Amino acid sequence: MQTDSSFTFVLFGGTGDLSMRKILPALYEAHRAGGMLADSGKIVAVARHVAGRADYLEWVNEHVKPHVSKNGLDETAWASFLDRIEFVKIDLGNPEDFTLLRDAVSGLPGIRVFYLATGPSLFVPICHALASVGLNENSRIVLEKPLGYDLKSSNAINDAVGEIFAEEQIYRIDHYLGKEPVQNLLALRFGNVLFEPLWRREWVESIQITIAEELGVEARGDFYDNTGALRDMVQNHLLQLLSIVAMEPPHSMDSDSVRDEKLRVLRALKPIDPRDIGKVAVRGQYHAGVIRGTAVPAYATEPGVKQDSTTETFVALKVEIENWRWAGVPFFLRTGKRLADRVAEIVVNFRAVPHSALGASALRGGANRLVIRLQPNETIRLYCLAKQPGEGMNLASVHLDLAFDRFFREGQMEAYQRLLLDVINGRLALFVRRDEQEAAWRWVEPILNEWAASNKPPKPYAAGTWGPAAASAMLAQHGTCWLEEEN
C-alpha cells in the first residue's frame, strides 16, 4: 500500500493508554514498512501531562516500545519515526490553548487528521475549539467508541460534531472492522463462486459471533460500571461484525456501497419484544474464580465498581434478520469478561446433508462449518467430513486452513494500522456511518430499558468459565451449542 498522501496527524490524548498501546505502535509499523506513510507526514501529540517535546519523546520511548514490532525493534526506523513527532501542551478545558495548536500545525503539509483518543465527554468541546481557530477545514476527525450512552446521547454528540464537520470528514472507528480475517470474509464471499450460493438460509443452520476476554475491568471500573457489556461491545463491535457477515453483495467496494448494505442488515434486525427478552437475552456478572491457575476477584469487588452493582459483564443474544436471505436463521451473539479464554470468532454452521448413506455423523448439523478466528491468532478454517484411514466407512472432522502467511510473503497488517492508513488516505468503507450507529442503538435500546426496569440481577458465573449456564441453554433450545462445548 504505497502512498504519496501528505498528512499532519494530531493525536489528542497523546499520553493515554490507547495512544501508547495501539495508535503510535500502528503508525510506527506503517513507518517502518516504508512507503506507507508520506515522508513529509508529521505526528503532533497533544497532552498536558508532560512539559515539552523532549519529555514527550522520553515518555514514548518508555511506554510505546513494549508494544511494537513482534519481530524486534528496528532502532534506525524507530529513530526516524521519532523525528516525525511534534508535541503541543494543551489543556483541553481551555479553548484559548487551541491557538497554540493552530500555530503548531499551520506550516505543516497535507490533510489534517484529528484523532480523539479521549473520553467521549471531550468530543464536542474539542470540535468546537478546533472550529474556533479554523482547524475544521481540510481535515478529518476520528472518534473512538463509546459514542454516547444511548440513542439520545449518541445523537447529541453526532449533531454537535456534524455542525462542525461534514459526514464525509467523520471517521467513527471500530477496530474489529480492520482485522484481516474480516477483510478476507468479504473476499471469500464476493470473490469466489464457491461460497456465495451457500450464504443463505437454505444452507446455513446458524451463525455464532463471540468476543470473549480473559481480562476483567482492570483500571476501568468507574467507566465500565456505568456502561456494561451491551453498550461496550454489542452495540458496536458485535453488531458491526453481524452486518458484515449478513450483508448483501455491494455493487462495488466504495465506502457508501459497503455501508449501505450494512445498514440494510441493521434495519432488518427483528425487534426484540420486551416480553421475550428473558428467552433471547442472557446477562451475567462474573464472581470470583480462577483463570489459568490465578485466583481473580468478583466484579463487585473491583476498584471503582459499586458493591451492589447490577451491571452486566456478559451478554448472550439470539438475533434474527427479517429478510429473504436470512429469515429463520438464528444468529447467536456472545461477549463477556473473565471468560475461559481470549477469543473472537465467527462460526458459520452449515446444514446437514438431507440424506446420508455414510452414517449418522454426516447428518449432524455443523459437520460442515466455516470458522473465522479474529483473535488471538487470525485464521480461517473450513471444516468438513472425511473418511478415516482403515477398514470401514468411518467419518471424521477435518479442516482446510486458509493460511495467508503461506501464500503472501508480506505479514498481516494490524487492524489499527490499516484503519489509520485508511483515514490518512480518505477511505471510509471500514468506518461506521451515522445512520448505521443510530440503527444499532435503536435495536439495542429496548433491551437496555427492560434490564433497567427489571429488578432481576445478572446471572452469576465463575471467572474462568464460559458464562452463565443460561447462555448454553438458549442454544440447546435450538438443537445446537457453542463451538467450545462441542469440542
Active site residues: 237
Q: Is 456 annotated as a binding residue?
A: no
Residue 484 near residue 466 (C-beta atoms within 8 A)? yes
Contacts (Cβ under 8 Å, ≥6 apart) of 218? none
Asked whether residue 91 is marked as a ligand-binding residue, the answer is yes
Dihedral of CA atoms 23, 414, 257, 331 in degrees, nearest 10, equals -110
92 annotated as belonging to a binding site for a ligand: yes
Q: Cell match 449518541: residue?
A: 154
179 annotated as ligand-binding:
yes
What element of type H or E holds 421?
helix 415-424
- Residue listed under C-alpha cell 437475552: 281
How would you class 260 by CB atoms within 10 Å of its CB: exposed for 0-12, middle for 13-18, buried for 19 or more? middle
Contact indicator for 374, 346 with CB cutoff of 8 Å? yes
Q: How far is CA 419 from CA 175, 179, 229, 332, in A?
A: 7, 9, 24, 27
- 244: closest CA among 150, 133, 166, 331? 331
Cell digits for 63?
511506554
Q: Where are the alpha helices (DSSP H) in 169-254?
A: 180-191, 221-225, 228-229, 239-246
Q: Where are the beta strands (DSSP E) in 230-359?
A: 281-287, 289-291, 294-296, 314-319, 331-336, 343-350
Residue 419 annotated as binding? no
Angle at the Cα of 179 from the Cα atoms of 436 and 444, rounded to 5 degrees: 30
DSSP E strand boundaries for 231-368: 281-287, 289-291, 294-296, 314-319, 331-336, 343-350
State yes or no: 276 annotated in a binding site.
no
* Spatial distance between the Cα atoms of 191 and 204, rounded to a whole number of angstroms: 19
Can you tell me which residue has the cell 454452521?
Answer: 349
**What's the CA gap between 423 and 440, in Å, rounded?**
23
Distance CA 145, CA 231 (A): 10
Contacts by 161-164, CB closer than 8 A, 24 or more apart = 161/123, 161/124, 161/127, 162/434, 164/127, 164/128, 164/130, 164/131, 164/136
By the 8 A CB rule, do 344 and 212 touch?
A: yes
Q: Is 22 annotated as a binding residue?
A: no
Annotated binding-site members: 48, 91-92, 145, 175, 179, 213, 232, 337
Point out the annotated binding site for NADP(+). 48, 91-92, 145
Binding residues for substrate, by number, are 175, 179, 213, 232, 337
